[in-house]
Structure 1
């Protein structure tokens, strides 16, 4: 009975083993790369570039304020399971080093802003000045929200790099490239797919960038001035020729003094600023007060540091940017 011979049985077992190995290998290859993104805008970029090859978890979700975020034990568990962590950098996620240490994360960290030319807070493109008191106001707030300690140690982060680099679509292109390179390094089997998706996404970013530039070029330069809740739109201002006057400086939770508010109101009147805007992560009260006392028009909500919830106008990075640009351009028209 040759069919039951030892050699035959060994051959059948070997074949079964090869089939099992192939099945397991396919299943392993099909498992998406586990990626954690620090906040919602980055999470969306990762989903665009990663496609079905990644499983993305976002720490600071839609309408969330990444400046003062308090990580949870659940965040530590998510990070511990991830193979890739994608961060903004430029001192934006001041709470993240503690979380990374607590989670024991041992994967690859990708800094999306790598290669971006940083701008400094208070540089041209914002309504900062030393003669109207507004400069003093801006210097009262920082990212760490620990003013006394930071002042003693000289850690005024807003004197350094502005972290809101995604507010210029040219920097969004850099983010997409860095995300693609990071995913490709962690998952070489899908490297080509990551780069192809990044190329397609970058083409959409570049098309929107050209459209936004055209829209603001059509508006008289002396009308391109707006008040926003906090100092998040400097890159936008530099790229598209808009002056932003931040009512709350860098921080999103510190209340400016009555003197600081009065200085902003005086500046808005003096410079005939046509519009004021609230943000999805900030209280509208201060901006509404400025509008009441100056007659400036209240524009629609702007999305600064976070996307909107699904179904709202700024649910993706591209939608957010297009919405912001449209709201600003409409409000600044004569």
Structure 2
């Protein structure tokens, strides 16, 4: 199985390299030369806030897909071949990326690793779920864009400052919303281990995680332990994202006698307007969490 997978990966990269040597023949298939590429749509949203309209922004991982389970396609190699900037999260999130960069053979590609120099805790790469870290991401993107495109450096700096103020406002707003949840109800069980930094910043206790490693389902013992934790901590809901199968979450919720919330967003923004960019996504997630945990309008039902 591993040999077949490795062979297929080498085959796809070879096909991609061959395509780079041929003229583009189909409309809509050629990458925009000199643009910015982000590994996933959440980072693409942060990048676009800084570099638009000077640089077009593309996400390698499609909206609604998991960055941790993504398999690069030949066109992704071609996209990086024509790009000026690549924005990656780092901290072990994009395990597939290095081969894609090597295959692109673009010596001019400037790579921004957003988590570089930041405190990655418990080997958890999802720092962008804390708006304070997202603000640092934006500052790094602006600095790299200025080096790649000095003529528009002032615009990038100003855009970074404007968006940084929006992120400060978002941070204050989230804190106010979470404060409406009764303290004894600020507990969550989540499917995907993306909520560590959000929970830490806003005083929510993460009681448990269903899938600690991508694609690795919990054992029967681990699932039973989560049920016990949910009951012991009076957890009101188990939270998941639409890109993952709801089967395990629903099984846990039935066993624990709690509700499921299956529409949080983190690795990916959504296609609907209310979750189509980073700020909107974070606001939507917060409203969803607050409602599920009995905060917001004063109703604890």
| TM-score after normalising by structure 2 | 0.83
Contact 2:237 2:292 (8 Å CA) reproduced:
yes
Q: Displacement of 1:312 after TM fit?
A: 4.9
For residue 191 of structure 2, what is the aligned residue in structure 1? Answer: 229
For 1:46 and 1:174, how far apart are their aligned partners in 2? 12
Q: Displacement of 1:300 after TM fit?
A: 4.9
For 1:300 and 1:207, how far apart are their aligned partners in 2? 27
For residue 204 of structure 1, what is the aligned residue in structure 2? Answer: 166
For 1:99 and 1:61, how far apart are their aligned partners in 2? 16
Q: Displacement of 1:53 after TM fit?
A: 0.2
Helix, strand or coil for the counterpart of 1:219? Answer: coil
For 1:298 and 1:69, how far apart are their aligned partners in 2? 26
Q: 2:127 aligns with which of 161, 165, 169?
A: 165
Deviations 1:105-127 (A, max 9, x none): 2111111223432211xxxxxxx
Contact 2:80 2:104 (8 Å CA) reproduced:
yes
For residue 324 of structure 1, what is the aligned residue in structure 2? Answer: 285
Q: 1:314 aligns with which of 256, 271, 275?
A: 275
For 2:141 and 2:150, how far apart are their aligned partners in 1? 13
Q: Displacement of 1:83 after TM fit?
A: 1.4
| TM-score after normalising by structure 1 | 0.75
Deviations 1:248-286 (A, max 9, x none): 1132x2221211111111110111111111212211111
Q: 2:246 aligns with which of 284, 288, 293?
A: 284
Contact 1:232 1:250 (8 Å CA) reproduced:
no
Q: 1:193 aligns with which of 138, 149, 155?
A: 155
Q: Based on CA coordinates, which of the two structures has the bigger radius of gyration?
A: 1
**Unaligned ranges ≥5, structure 1:** 1-30, 121-160
Q: 2:210 aligns with which of 230, 247, 266?
A: 247
**Unaligned ranges ≥5, structure 2:** 1-31, 295-299
Deviations 1:64-123 (A, max 9, x none): 111111111100011011111111111111110011111112111111223432211xxx
Deviations 1:124-172 (A, max 9, x none): xxxxxxxxxxxxxxxxxxxxxxxxxxxxxxxxxxxxx211001100011
For 2:41 and 2:255, how far apart are their aligned partners in 1? 34
For 2:220 and 2:274, how far apart are their aligned partners in 1? 33
Helix, strand or coil for the counterpart of 1:67? Answer: helix
Contact 1:39 1:61 (8 Å CA) reproduced:
yes
Deviations 1:306-330 (A, max 9, x none): 1112x25321111111111111111
For residue 117 of structure 1, what is the aligned residue in structure 2? Answer: 119
Q: Find runs of 4+ consecutive structure 1 residues off by over 6 angstroms.
A: none
For 1:312 and 1:258, how far apart are their aligned partners in 2? 39
Contact 1:33 1:187 (8 Å CA) reproduced:
no
For 1:82 and 1:33, how far apart are their aligned partners in 2? 5
For 2:213 and 2:186, how far apart are their aligned partners in 1? 21
Q: Displacement of 1:33 after TM fit?
A: 4.2
